[in-house]
Chains A and B, each alone.
Chain A
């Protein structure tokens, strides 16, 4: 038997799967961007929506993944495939090093600290501190994925690679939510004192969320750099971080459909309304404000109570 939500998910999956056959290349690029940004939004949601950590520097990890692929490929000549593992692992290690000293901070203090990290990251990129990042212009000429002599160059390939990445991300999110680890994050989010009193280490699970979220964001970053064959600092600045943060809250914290809706509103609708130029952002600002007033838990709020069916037999 299928629930209504999984029906919608299936229809959406089929639609997304056939999407490239109906649209031109401009729209295909929009579709790919939607997929990549969904992955970033989900990774933000692990940290913000599940562990409840007010992290507003997520573009840093997205950017680290993108720059790892760009630098290894362009400066050191690594094939793109070989850059995938480091573009996931380097953000994870950085997440551990950066979040470690600040993870005990309360919401607003931590938020300011993460913004600080993001600003420093952009400064490092723009000033080309290590002589590797290409300064304000970034890095151009990133290769495409090549495997067994096949060149994954077309936008259609890009789309399906992003599609697979989103699939892997959703698979991880589902596994997380059904494990001790995802639940511990929710308990901490809802009541830290109660969670600790049940034997849950706040520090361990918040860091777990940070490291996992950073790794997924890094994978999305790598994909992003290959899609545009270029990276530059402004794609990973604090404004982008604010966008990822907002997507989660507007769509619905810890809600898989909610985060997809949030990403759609923030990244796809602006493309649809492109002819209204910058005035369209006025509408989004208003939409953000209204959502928080009218639906403070998001457009599609998370629903708890996903328990094994043998425990539901007595529920009236």
Chain B
């Protein structure tokens, strides 16, 4: 097996004939923090949706530990150890923080089909272990004081933490973060940076889309820049930052924004 845990090879994805991802390739090493940047609408979220099975790309291959996973349903992708957060937060809003995080324990829970009707000693053991894990994650993300509060009632920054805790509860091998710092204030962003480093230290590979350049530059080991669905640059953060093509793409998109 190669040193790359995830390989994306010549992937293309179209919406109604329009190309959203165009012949994109990248390789993620185990244990890495891998950054994906690019202007709005570049296709970054679409790429994550292709990896996690929400969309099936028309062309190319997605290899997870050398095995093709293109077209696998989202729940099976999660079972493989690929977990994600969403750019537009997707929590179970009416349910409590603890119950939200418990959803991450779903694939780890060993309850049998009949435990939905009748409880057994094995059920009680399993249930207790999973709630304890939820407790550990609430401690890790400073969420314990909100345990019983409906997730939808909490602030944006806290909701982002709940989403990460939920994904981490599944003990992922690859954690995919879609703009985790969006909507966070400066303190919260600093805290998030520390948290992501701690998650990496646990041995989790991380892929992240992020617009906060300071954060991307300080965290990531390798970056791919996407524009109009295609790779326009890739390399170490310091290289990408000064690549004229990248600078051009961002200036171009800024001008477009002004016209809107």
| Chain A interfacial positions (CB closer than 8 Å to B) | 172, 175-176, 178-184, 186-187, 190-191, 193-202, 208, 212, 304-305, 307-308, 310-316
Contact, CB under 8 Å: A178 / B90: no
Contact of A186 among B95, B111, B150, B166 (CB under 8 A): B95
- In the bound complex, what is the Cα–Cα distance between A238 and B222 (angstroms)? 60
- B interface residues, tally (CB under 8 Å): 51
Contact, CB under 8 Å: A304 / B118: no
Contact, CB under 8 Å: A315 / B147: yes
- Which of B6-14, B130-138, B180-188, B196-204 lines the interface with chain A? B130-138
Contact, CB under 8 Å: B138 / A175: no
- Which of B32-40, B96-104, B211-219, B238-246 lines the interface with chain A? B96-104
| Minimal beta-carbon separation of B111 from chain A (angstroms) | 4
Interface residues of B in 80-97 (CB under 8 A from A): 83-84, 86, 90-96
Residue of A nearest to B52 (CB): A197
Set of chain B residues within 8 Å of A194, measured between Cβ atoms:
86, 90-92, 103
Residue of B nearest to A194 (CB): B90
- Known contacts A179-B123, A194-B92; A305 and B99 CB within 8 A of each other: yes
Contact, CB under 8 Å: B148 / A307: yes
Contact, CB under 8 Å: A200 / B75: yes
Residue of A nearest to B130 (CB): A180
Set of chain B residues within 8 Å of A187, measured between Cβ atoms:
92, 95, 103, 106
Contact of A307 among B96, B116, B166 (CB under 8 A): B96
Interface residues of B in 108-135 (CB under 8 A from A): 109, 111, 113, 115-119, 123, 127-128, 131, 134-135
| Minimal beta-carbon separation of B220 from chain A (angstroms) | 23
Residue from B103, B116, B145 with most neighbouring chain A CB atoms (10 Å) = B116
- In the bound complex, what is the Cα–Cα distance between A187 and B146 (angstroms)? 19
| Minimal beta-carbon separation of B201 from chain A (angstroms) | 23
Asked if B26 is an interface residue, CB under 8 A from chain A, the answer is: no
1/0 contact trace for B131-164 toward A, CB 8 Å?
Answer: 1001100100000111111100000000000000
| Minimal beta-carbon separation of A3 from chain B (angstroms) | 13
Q: Which 9 A-B pairs have the closest CB atoms?
A: A181-B116, A199-B78, A199-B107, A314-B144, A305-B96, A196-B74, A190-B92, A305-B148, A194-B90
- In the bound complex, what is the Cα–Cα distance between A261 and B211 (angstroms)? 51
Residue of B nearest to A191 (CB): B90
Contact, CB under 8 Å: B98 / A311: yes
| Minimal beta-carbon separation of B196 from chain A (angstroms) | 19
Residue from B94, B109, B113 with most neighbouring chain A CB atoms (10 Å) = B94
| Minimal beta-carbon separation of B200 from chain A (angstroms) | 21
| Minimal beta-carbon separation of B183 from chain A (angstroms) | 18
Set of chain B residues within 8 Å of A310, measured between Cβ atoms:
131, 135
Contact, CB under 8 Å: B117 / A172: yes
Residue of A nearest to B93 (CB): A190
Asked if B62 is an interface residue, CB under 8 A from chain A, the answer is: no
- In the bound complex, what is the Cα–Cα distance between A197 and B167 (angstroms)? 9
Set of chain A residues within 8 Å of B94, measured between Cβ atoms:
190, 304
- In the bound complex, what is the Cα–Cα distance between A212 and B138 (angstroms)? 33
A-B contact list, 28 entries, CB within 8 Å: A176-B117, A178-B127, A179-B123, A179-B127, A180-B116, A181-B115, A181-B116, A183-B99, A187-B106, A191-B90, A193-B74, A194-B86, A194-B90, A195-B103, A196-B78, A197-B75, A197-B86, A199-B75, A199-B79, A201-B75, A305-B95, A307-B134, A311-B131, A311-B138, A311-B147, A314-B147, A315-B146, A315-B147
Set of chain B residues within 8 Å of A312, measured between Cβ atoms:
147-148
- In the bound complex, what is the Cα–Cα distance between A75 and B170 (angstroms)? 54
Set of chain B residues within 8 Å of A308, measured between Cβ atoms:
128, 131
- In the bound complex, what is the Cα–Cα distance between A310 and B86 (angstroms)? 30
Asked if B73 is an interface residue, CB under 8 A from chain A, the answer is: yes
Residue of A nearest to B143 (CB): A314
- In the bound complex, what is the Cα–Cα distance between A197 and B134 (angstroms)? 18
